[in-house]
Structure 1
Amino acid sequence: MQRCNASNRLDRLPISRFHKVILAAVAIAYFFEFADINSFSITAPRLLEVWKVSVDEIAWVTSLSFIGMFIGALLAGWLADRFGRKRALIWTTLEFSIFSLAAVFSWDIGSLAAFRILTSAGLSAMTVVAVIYVNELFPSAVRGKYQAYAIVIGICGTPATNFIASGVVSISPWSWRLVYLWGALGLVVLVFARWMTESPVWHENRGDYAAAETVLRDIEARVSAEHGPLPEPAPEVVADRPGKAPWTLLLRRRYLLPTLLLTVMWVTQSIGFFGYSTWAPSLLAKQGFSVQSSTLYVALATVGAPLGAGLSALVTDRFERKWCLVAFGSVIAACGLLYGLTFTPVMIVAFGFLVNLFERGYTALGYAYSPELFDTRTRSLGTGVSYGLGRLSNAAGPLIIAHLYTWSGYRSVFYFIAAVWLAGAVVLALFGPRTRDRRRAAAPEPAAA
């Protein structure tokens, strides 16, 4: 029999320096993930000029990058379950940083594509592990808020990268390479490694109760030294040891339905967001805007991203996450459509700002919502598979967008993107389970202190 009490003991802890160190490490990992994830899209307009690549070649590189993301997300679940959340987070951050550095030295579109595929695998893997890590170490009553706080800091990597790109990509024929050098700075996360701790929930799930107890006592000692005596945790729950989760477990009805729902959520988010963010600079350049202007407009629009993550922090633990996702997705559909119907610079920036604001809020909500639909045994597997399938779906997204642009023009791309976002909102509204009552039941009131 298994004694399951790690979650209850963590849930009654007040937020302390221990949590803030974890938050800082995850936020910095997110920062360079968001800094790096759109590196190719913001250098692509320059590559159109320097390497004479075509729109179709850009589409193929982007598509292959999402295949890399799919593989990375699947590997992330295995890494997190086999070696632990902390190690997996560090390893995946190292992976995407090293291959972003390698991209600096790419010599043609083929070599750059190879490095981007490997970078993308690391980016996706890191995201899956970070979502699980925060979910298991933060009290359930406030984990959504702190997940959003990490993204508020992390998402600043997007406008930072865009502003850097707008200033350097046009300096010389080689200066676009500096964008990938910037993305390689994710290695900074190593500074926090010594203060990070492994998830006791992971130890407990493996049946290593001694290690779980050691980690829990260390965490409790650090928190009580800061806040004084801790309240008693909820009584332990006795259950059979879950053991390893085989892939086939997700085919059972209990896990299949949330996996399918989250797959739809991440598919529509991936195609909808990356369809917009990946193609906006290139499509604006094709419509007659200069490379510098198109990059600057996108950079100004991404200022809305951290504000959107901040907005999600205000609503994620106060309202039902399902309905927040539905509302945000619907607003993104409307703003994304309006973005494609205007060629006035002010309106391009305004609607782009709103798309970034609500999309990053949507992502923060999704990161908190996804692991809540699974138990400890299937959390890594279910989150990794659904997130990975979402990224894999966008291997087709750029090809669809390139086809739409070639045959129907600029605006058809944004009609398609708006329809995808709206479809995701409708599916969540109809089939998404509520998780607010689960959080209330799982988390005693002192945890919010």
Structure 2
Amino acid sequence: MSNVSIAMRLDRLPITILHKKATVLIGTGLFFDFFDIFLAGVLSTVLEEHFHVAHELLPLLLGSSFLGMFIGAIVLNGLADRFGRKKAFMFNLAVYSVFTLLAAFSPNVGLLIVFRFLAGLGLGAEPPLCDTYLSELLPASKRGKYVAWAYTLGFLAMPVEGFLAKLLVPLQFLGFEGWRWLFIIGSIGSLVVWILRRNLPESPRWLAAAGRLEEANRITAQFEEEAKKKRTDLVPLFSSSTQTLPEQMPKQKVSFAVLFQKQYLQSTVMLWFFQILQTIGYYGFGTLVPLILKAKGYSVIHSLEYTAFTFLGYPIGSLLSLPLVERIDRKWLIVLSAFLMGVFGISFGVTENPMLIILFGVLYTLVSNVFSNAFHIYQAEIFPTSVRATATGVAYSLSRFMSGLMPFLLLPILKQYGSTVMFTVVAIAMGLIMIDIGLLGPRTTGRSLEEINEEKFHPSDSHISM
């Protein structure tokens, strides 16, 4: 039984209860990942006042977790290609749960920055690893829709966090300031997800690629048995009772250099360029919006209120993406949503009217999550199983690195030139993304992972042994 046979069996399945369970548990983990990622941004004005943070130190406070994510996305996703998807995402959940809890008890801004950096090691690995895991588990015809469902669940974190901040920040409970409870909530939630995820199966595609065909066959058969409860006409492509499996298949050996071979180079360059730029538009807004509103003259409490309403666009946009990601090819959906982010960003920067601020803020976050869902699905589709976690993790790490630098780049522009100029910079970045994806990106919607990568993947490659 080959890697291809496992892939064929997985792609011909209908959606089962096992697929839905995996989608919900991955989505719940993403919920607490995004909850934690946006904490420093949502609380930026609060923390600035509480710790009397100097202006030159504020970018480091906002960027510390993103710098941790840069390292985590490279290291932990690399481990996922060596030791398995499940072990990697169990480890990263544990890392950011522990250090987010420690951040809640930070006595000073220095320790808070350290703990945010360490939590970022786990945070950075989660999204690309979830993209990889779900893309390998789900059938090709439903892959985009169910990855988008997972992110829709995850993006509920933004408005929940916004309204919790509005509610808790003015309060004290059990001797702790309200902002500390936000960190505690994120940590405990991550721990609960860690316990629930223990029963998830390993990726059969990864097991097959690693030569562990007995395990790959057993897990795939479980999905087939579950599917037969819905479709009695479904029978396995291969019968385990008649198929003789080799005792051990040679394990694939992957080096980082494989990403720069001719068959991967275009996808690597395209995705790296994209990840460097997308951060400016996506996290530039989500992380800095309270500070943007403060620069427009709104108080801390009012900026938290506006932020909460603006963040409603995140889950709404994710829901809107559900019918789009399987109808419009992912590459063109990314291009279109990048254009609209540029338009709505400049509109948000220009306006001073409170109702228009909320309107353009919601429109921006709405479109940005159509953009986000499309690229999260897309980035896990354009590399083969043997290097998928490494390729997406390394590319995604660049976005985390840029997110760490972003406050140092955008905050000075905001303070010196105002929000309109800052969002003009964002719009230029979105325009470059349109060119990058439009010219270099392959079509992926509705195609199997193996078909998408067929022309690139050759078993005789010097860096990959089968």
Q: Distance in 2 between matches of 1:307 and 1:330?
A: 19
Q: Please tell me whether residue 221 in structure 1 is matched to residue 262 in structure 2.
A: no
Q: Which residue number corresponds to residue 461 of structure 2?
A: none
Give yes or no for contact 1:26–1:150 (8 Å, CA) kept in 2. yes
Residue-by-residue CA offset, 1:410-446 (whole Å, 9 max, x unaligned): 3322221222122212221122222237449959xxx
Q: Distance in 1 between matches of 2:405 and 2:3?
A: 45
Q: Select between 290-299 and 394-403 the one with higher mean Cα deviation.
A: 394-403
Residue-by-residue CA offset, 1:24-67 (whole Å, 9 max, x unaligned): 10010011111111101111101222211133312122233222
Matched letter for residue 396 of structure 2: Y
Give yes or no for contact 1:59–1:402 (8 Å, CA) kept in 2. yes
Map of 1:38-437 to 2, 5 A cutoff? Answer: 38-171=38-171, 174-184=177-187, 185-231=189-235, 233=237, 243-436=252-445
- SS of 1:176's equivalent in the other structure is helix
TM-score (norm 1): 0.93
Q: Which residue number corresponds to residue 455 of structure 2?
A: none
Give yes or no for contact 2:158–2:311 (8 Å, CA) kept in 1. yes
Runs of 4+ in 1 over 4 A off after TM superposition: 231-236, 440-443
Residue-by-residue CA offset, 1:261-293 (whole Å, 9 max, x unaligned): 111222222121111111110231233211111
Q: Which has the higher contact order (CA 8 A, sep 6+)?
A: 1
Q: Select between 275-284 and 1-10 the one with higher mean Cα deviation.
A: 1-10
Give yes or no for contact 2:6–2:208 (8 Å, CA) kept in 1. yes
Cα offset, 1:390, TM superposition: 1.8
Cα offset, 1:2, TM superposition: 5.0
Q: Distance in 2 between matches of 1:248 and 1:192?
A: 36
Q: Select between 89-98 and 29-38 the one with higher mean Cα deviation.
A: 89-98
Q: Distance in 1 between matches of 2:58 and 2:231?
A: 53
Matched letter for residue 151 of structure 1: Y
Matched letter for residue 327 of structure 1: L
- SS of 1:32's equivalent in the other structure is helix
Gaps of 5+ in 1: 444-449
Q: Select between 106-115 and 284-293 the one with higher mean Cα deviation.
A: 284-293
Q: Distance in 2 between matches of 1:427 and 1:3?
A: 32
Q: Quickly say closer, same or farther: Cα 1:422–1:134, change in 2 above 3 A.
A: same
Cα offset, 1:294, TM superposition: 0.4
| Identity among equivalent pairs (%) | 31
Q: Quickly say closer, same or farther: Cα 1:234–1:442, change in 2 above 3 A.
A: farther
Residue-by-residue CA offset, 1:46-100 (whole Å, 9 max, x unaligned): 1222211133312122233222111111022222122211222222122112211
Give yes or no for contact 2:337–2:367 (8 Å, CA) kept in 1. yes
Q: Distance in 2 between matches of 1:54 and 1:411?
A: 25
Q: Which residue number corresponds to residue 447 of structure 1?
A: none
RMSD: 2.2
Q: Quickly say closer, same or farther: Cα 1:440–1:417, change in 2 above 3 A.
A: closer
